[in-house]
Amino acid sequence: MLDKKSFQHSSTLFLEEGDTATVVTTQRGPEFLHYLVPKGGVTLGAIVNVPVKSKIVLGVVWSNGQSLKTSYKKKRISKVLDLPSLKIEVRNFLQKSSEYYLFPLNTALRLCLNPNLNLEKSYSKYIYQIGPEKVVRLTSQRKRVLDVLSSIRDEPIDKLELKTESNVSDSVIRDLEKKRLLTKTLVPIKYNFATVQVTFSTTLSKFQKKISNELRSKVKSKSYSTTMLKGVTGSGKTEVYMDAIAEAILLGQQVLVVFPEISLSTTFVERLRKRFKSGFAEWHSSISKKEKKRILNSVLDGSLKLVFGARSAVFLPFHNLGLVIVDEEHDSSYKQEEGIRYHGRDMAVLKGFYSQATVILVSATPSLETWVNVLERKYEGKSLPERFGNASLPKISLVDLRTSDRERNRWISKEIVEKISSKIKKKQQSLLFLNRRGYTPVLVCESCFQMLKCYNCDAKLVEHKLFSALLCHLCGARYQSPKICPSCRNECSYIPIGPGIEKIEEETRSLFPDARIELLSSDHYRSLEHLKECFRRITCGEIDIIIGTQLISKGHNFPFLSFVGVIDVDLALKGDDIRAGENTFQLLRQVIGRAGRFEISGEACIQTYFPEDPVMKTLCSDDDEEFMTSQKNLRENARVPPFGRMVALVVSSSTHEAAMNFAKDLTKEILPLQKYDVEIYGPADARISKIRKKYRVRILLKAPKTVSIQPLLKNILEKKKPPRAIYLTIDVDPINFY
């Protein structure tokens, strides 16, 4: 993915009035537009407003357009915004990512600059207070405004907040102002973040200190490198990379830390606060617009030194990025699967490359891609083998479900029940893991044996007791259990197949009626606050048995947890996805790693129908080298990533015929690529052939790594645009094959 050709390296180019500037806007449409430079000139990278048709839109001066011969009369840049220019490394990064993932450059710039935020700083704003005049009689609207003002006392409030809080229009506030029932005062806006307090860890072991020093000298070198930092849960890897963060900040550089699921990183925030006190910001979809504007401004001018966020943070326009850290780098949720498709980890490496920054990929179970890059010496590998403190790795045993002793329709084996009982006696916690939401994952008609499916999607319905409904996990539709089977039209009932997490909870409560039990799945927490409260109860030892989906697998310390029981993972293991084995291994390692991280040593028990599977064998040993080698060979033989390039094209439409016809036409255009050794599969119905009432047809392209397939494909796709009501999704390096 990394190559330097075709990018500019100078960042000081200045265009004079009357020159032609090539501008990339944040609007859909052509990627490059040309404008005349206004009075005062403009630097490359300047953030500007330009006219497009009848609108004024946000854009960036990308390059000089001097070599351009055009006959049309060019319009002028309407305004050069009072903001720092977008650095050359940011522009190069955006351009490369758009070329690699085949999304428009405008889209990349939109993700970078968030044009709806109105970025230009306003240095002051009006705040409102109750005025000197006495209240006589008031309309209900006016009363609401004054009530809001008196309830907040001396808290400053601006017009927008006042309007929203009291639910009135501008004119109500203007009237009150005229009557001097309220007054406004101009106050300056504070944009800056506090300074980060730089400290280095004083508790590292000799070995950890050695790795910390190596990472710090990489940061000091101010050049690009990527290092895989491997360490089991509790090995102190966060402490080690925080030293690298401190070093970068000491050098005046900016730092970006990305996480797979930011809402769950509360433990990390606490650790950051403990180490750096303040001066860092969080970036993800649920922070307010106001805070986003503040962060973007401070990232652009370089004053904000430390940002941690979700994968979208890789698009932020840093001024002086020196260090990028990707925590849990193997996590598949780094792959963006909605809207434009990209991989957050790979983008972070690209970002580091263009910024000449140090990149650290952190994981207990590195992805195969990263592992191969270390083998090929593109990345450096460092391991932290020991666990921090006295805790040792959990001891793991397998329960063969084919021969285990269980009552009918029970899912928790005798072995697990015994372990939990003994842990409760010792006042320690147990965790039961099953990555399946709901009560029953599959319902089958007792007369025709057909699965109950969603009307909108090609997906089975899952019974949820919590919602007293059947849910489609793809589109979210809810159904009541039908009286008449949609397949055979008989009046019948349904046979439940397998357990979901709610069923395990029911079984656990009947087995341990006196235990304190907490169920954690995305359906069961109402808000982030509620979730934090659950984690607090667990951390304080107020819970005996935790039952959870993969929600509990990362980021939290459970000091009392000493036993993990895995109910079933075989569905995930036996999928025909090439990553199924690797992903199951990573997930289980992570879940099992929850146990025994502190003074208590941990134990784990995995129930499985396939005890001889390599994944199970690897989990029971300490050595993952052999397993990773077998996974590598598997992918190498199939010539799939990282040993070949894949691009999936998914055509969807409300009729199957329309989707298939366009996919066939498109395939005809792609066929000539076979001369570059590109293999073309399909068009064929996708594995999930319908989602949200849209039929889906897939084409899969497989190319040798030596072929640069994206520009070839871009040419074709530009000529063959999908007609109305037909949608084309382009997924480069797909990880889902449904």
Least CB distance to Zn ion at residue 724 (A) = 24
Q: What is the smallest separation between the CB atom of 606 and Zn ion, expressed in angstroms?
A: 31
Q: How far is the CB of 503 from Zn ion (least distance, A)?
A: 22
Q: Residue from 314, 452, 472, 595 that binds Zn ion (CB under 5 A)?
A: 472
Question: Within 13 Å and on the Cβ side, how many CA atoms surround 121?
Answer: 18
Q: Does residue 620 bind Zn ion (CB under 5 A)? A: no
Any contact of residue 688 with Zn ion (CB under 5 A)?
Answer: no
**Of 566, 567, 562, 548, nearest in space to 603 by CA:** 562
- Does residue 482 belong to the site contacting Zn ion (CB under 5 A)? no
Q: Is 457 in the site for Zn ion (CB under 5 A)?
A: yes
The mark string for 399-438 relative to Zn ion (x by CB under 5 A, - otherwise) is: ----------------------------------------
Q: Quick check: bond before 513 cis, omega within 30?
A: no
Q: How many CA atoms lie within 13 A of 79 on its CB side?
A: 8
Instruction: Based on the shown chain and the rule CB under 5 A, indicate whether residue 204 belongs to the binding site for Zn ion.
Output: no
CB of 475 to Zn ion, least distance (A): 3
Q: Which of 531, 599, 568, 482 is nearest to 262 (CA)?
A: 531
- The interface region with Zn ion, picked from 256-264, 312-320, 464-472, 560-568 by CB under 5 A, is 464-472
The answer to whether 443 touches 461, Cβ cutoff 8 Å, is yes
State which residue, 397 or 655, has the beta carbon closest to Zn ion: 655
Question: Which of 443/546 has CB closer to Zn ion?
Answer: 443
Closest approach of Zn ion to the CB of residue 628, in Å: 36
Residue whose C-alpha is closest to residue 693's, from 732, 662, 724, 652: 652
Q: How far is the CB of 462 from Zn ion (least distance, A)?
A: 11
Interface residue with Zn ion among 152, 444, 469, 474 (CB under 5 A) is 474
Stretch that binds Zn ion, among 20-28, 424-432, 456-464, 556-564 (CB under 5 A): 456-464
Binding segment for Zn ion (CB under 5 A), chosen from 234-242, 444-452, 540-548, 552-560, is 444-452
Q: Is 485 in the site for Zn ion (CB under 5 A)?
A: yes
Nearest distance in Å: CB 441, Zn ion: 15
Decide: is 488 part of the binding site for Zn ion (CB under 5 A). Answer: yes
For Zn ion, give the closer residue by CB, 57 or 452.
Answer: 452
Say how many C-beta atoms besides its own lie within 10 A of residue 71's C-beta. 4
Shortest Å, Cβ 337 to Zn ion:
16
Tell me, by CB under 5 A, how many residues bind Zn ion: 13
Q: Is residue 461 involved in binding Zn ion (CB under 5 A)?
A: no
Q: Which uninterrupted H or E stretch holds 358?
A: strand 358-363
Task: Name 482's Cβ contacts closer than 8 Å, sequence gap at least 6.
Answer: 452
Residue 471 within binding range of Zn ion, rule CB under 5 A: no
Position 256, amino acid = L
Neighbours of 112 (CB within 10 A): 23
Rounded Cα distance, 20 and 37, in Å: 6
Instruction: Give whichever of 692 and 720 is closer to Zn ion, judged by the CB atom.
Output: 692
Of 446 and 622, which has the nearer Cβ to Zn ion? 446
Phi, psi of 129 (to 5 degrees): -140, 165
| 443 contributes a contact to Zn ion by CB under 5 A | no
Buried b (16+ CB within 10 A) or exposed e, 439-465: bbbbbbbeeeeeebbbebbbbbbbbbe
Region of 297-305, 422-430, 449-457, 697-705 interacting with Zn ion (CB under 5 A): 449-457
Task: Please name the amino acid found at residue 300.
Answer: L
The stretch among 13-21, 335-343, 430-438, 447-455 that binds Zn ion (CB under 5 A) is 447-455
* Cβ contact 286:310 at 8 Å: no
Radius of gyration of the chain (CA): 29
With contacts defined by CB under 5 A, name the span among 295-303, 338-346, 475-483, 665-673 that binds Zn ion: 475-483
If the CB atoms of residues 401 and 485 are measured against Zn ion, the closer one turns out to be 485
Minimum distance from residue 358 beta carbon to Zn ion (Å)? 44
Is 456 among the residues that bind Zn ion (CB under 5 A)? yes
> Among residues 493 and 621, whose Cβ is nearest to Zn ion?
493
Stretch that binds Zn ion, among 27-35, 440-448, 570-578, 613-621 (CB under 5 A): 440-448
Rounded least distance, CB 487 to Zn ion, Å? 4
Stretch of 294-302, 377-385, 488-496, 655-663 lying at the interface with Zn ion (CB under 5 A):
488-496
Q: Give the distance, in angstroms, between the CA of residue 211 and the centroid of all CA atoms in the same chain.
A: 28
Find the binder of Zn ion among 58, 262, 454, 616 (CB under 5 A). 454
Among 187, 189, 375, 448, binds Zn ion (CB under 5 A): 448
Q: How far is the CB of 580 from Zn ion (least distance, A)?
A: 23
Ordered DSSP codes for 429-489: EEEEEE---SSBSEEEETTT-PBPB-SSSS-B-EEETTTTEEE-TTT--EEPPPSB-TTT-
What torsion, rounded to 10 degrees, do the Cα atoms 88, 90, 96, 102 define? -130
Cβ distance 413 to 421 under 8 Å? no
Cβ of residue 691: shortest distance to Zn ion, in angstroms?
7
Tokens at 24, concatenated: 């990339």
CB nearer to Zn ion: give 58 or 485: 485
- Which range, of 85-93, 263-271, 314-322, 466-474, touches Zn ion by CB under 5 A? 466-474
Q: Site for Zn ion (CB under 5 A): which residue of 445, 552, 592, 726? A: 445
Q: How far is the CB of 437 from Zn ion (least distance, A)?
A: 14
- Give dist(CA 651, CA 248) in Å, integer: 45
> What are the start-end ranges of the H helices in 453-608?
501-511, 528-539, 570-573, 580-592
- 388 burial via Cβ count (<10 Å: 0-12, 13-18, 19+): buried
Span from 181-189, 336-344, 448-456, 665-673 in contact with Zn ion (CB under 5 A): 448-456
Close Cβ partners of 627 (under 8 Å, ≥ 6 residues apart): 581, 585, 614, 615, 617, 618
Number of H helices, E strands in the chain: 20, 32
Question: Minimum CB separation from Zn ion for residue 485, in Å?
Answer: 3
Could you tell me which residues are beta bridge partners of residue 401? none
Contact indicator for 587, 553 with CB cutoff of 8 Å: yes
**To the nearest whole angstrom, how small is the minimum distance from the Cβ of residue 458 to Zn ion?**
8
Choose one: 143-151, 233-241, 451-459, 657-665; the region binding Zn ion (CB under 5 A). Answer: 451-459
d(CA 264, CA 553): 10
If one asks whether residue 487 binds Zn ion (CB under 5 A), the answer comes out as yes
82, exposed or middle or buried, with CB in 10 Å at 0-12, 13-18, 19+? exposed
Q: Where on the chain is the footprint of Zn ion (CB under 5 A)?
A: 445, 447-448, 454, 456-457, 472, 474-475, 477, 485, 487-488
